[in-house]
Amino acid sequence: MKMNVRVVDNDEVVALLSMNACIDLMDDAFKAYSKGECDIPLRSIIWLPDKSGGLGVMPGYFGPPESASEALGLKVVTVFPKNEGTPYESHQGVVILFDVENGRTLTILDACEITTIRTAGASGAATRLLAREEASSLAILGTGTQARSHLDAMLAVRPIKDVRIWGRNTDKAVAFATRESKRLGLDVKPAPKAREAVECADIICTVTGSREPILDGAWIKPGTHINAVGACIPVARELDTEAVRNSRLYVDSRESAINESGDYLIPLKEGAIHEDHIVGEIGDLLTGRIEGRRSAEEITLFKSLGLAMEDLVVAKYILAKAIKTEQGHDVIIGGCRRDEA
């Protein structure tokens, strides 16, 4: 007996997972997580001796039990920041999905594109809940892969008319603005300074690899919504203390935030905020357990760290579409008893 495993490559992932579909899937994932229908341990990272790169493992179970949406699997991803300027992405790996009945391997999918789309999709889900309905001005700090995907996500949930992009490398910001203006038929402008990018923005997305603040609270106008995405370790942050203190803070996972988020932990250590500064998880907002935006002047902040359940729910969706549309290809991987072959 042979066991077929469906392999879905990066181009197929892009073809099968639209941003609009992903944002809806993130709603499902957030609700299930906050209702206790998932088992998602904190990610584990093994670093190379010189800290130049590492291997991250993100296992998880997505429920509810005995439902059509059950998923068991993990994402295995390498993180090599030094890949900037090379042909390789900084994050590479696979998402693997297993059957919940007998543990057989169901599918292996490219993790690079899944991470790109679902990270922005999570921000899109949060923005749809928290940004003002009329928000039309967007600032993106960062020029990498997540900058483009976040632009797509914001366009999917709000009537964006004005976009400003800033990056530490001005040439990359100019190239991004030129490329995306042509792709979208939208006027995307490069900003020479981060402050100039965000001062008039209704929505701000920080998607950099910076370990020090790039967004100052003094620059943020009342009513802004912020998606803080780039920093995901306790010693790194993209927002300064004032930006966090002045914002109504929502997270994807409270457990992850109190263990991994420098954007939260550093102001907490300084005494600028208290533990109750986290209003709650996005899933709690979706299920009506907590309030969202309370006024047009309030600044809202979504701190995204990324959770395995986001990868699992997306992987299950992609697998179903791949089978239905006959995309991907099957490979033979062991798992069956040889004496019964």
3-class DSSP assignment, residue 291: coil
Tens-digit pLDDT profile for residues 141-165: 999 999 999 999 999 999 999 999 9
Q: Give the C-alpha separation, 226 to 122, whole Å.
A: 13
Classify residue 41 by its DSSP letter.
Answer: P
Q: Give the C-alpha separation, 325 to 289, whole Å.
A: 39
Q: Find where tokens 């981060």 sit.
A: 194
Task: Look at the pTM and tell me if it is higher than 0.85.
Answer: yes
Task: Delineate the domains of the chain, giving CATH numbers in brackets.
Answer: 4-114+308-340 (3.30.1780.10), 131-303 (3.40.50.720)
Cα→Cα distances 173→69, 109, 167, 192, 273, Å: 40, 31, 6, 9, 33
Tens-digit pLDDT profile for residues 246-280: 999 999 999 999 999 999 999 999 999 999 999 99
DSSP β-bridge partners for residue 162: 137
Q: With a cut of 80, say whether residue 131 has pLDDT above it.
A: yes
Q: With a cut of 60, say whether residue 341 has pLDDT above it.
A: no
Cα→Cα distances 100→61, 294, 328, 334, Å: 9, 42, 22, 17
Q: Using alpha carbons only, how large is the chain's radius of gyration in Å?
A: 20
Comparing CA positions, the residue from 87, 103, 121, 102 lying closest to residue 17 is 121
Q: Which residues contact 168 (CB under 8 A, 6 or more apart)?
A: 208, 210
Mean pLDDT, rounded, for 60-72: 79
Compute the mean pLDDT over every residue in the chain, rounded to the nearest whole number. 93
Residue 35 CB: number of other CB atoms within 10 A?
Answer: 15
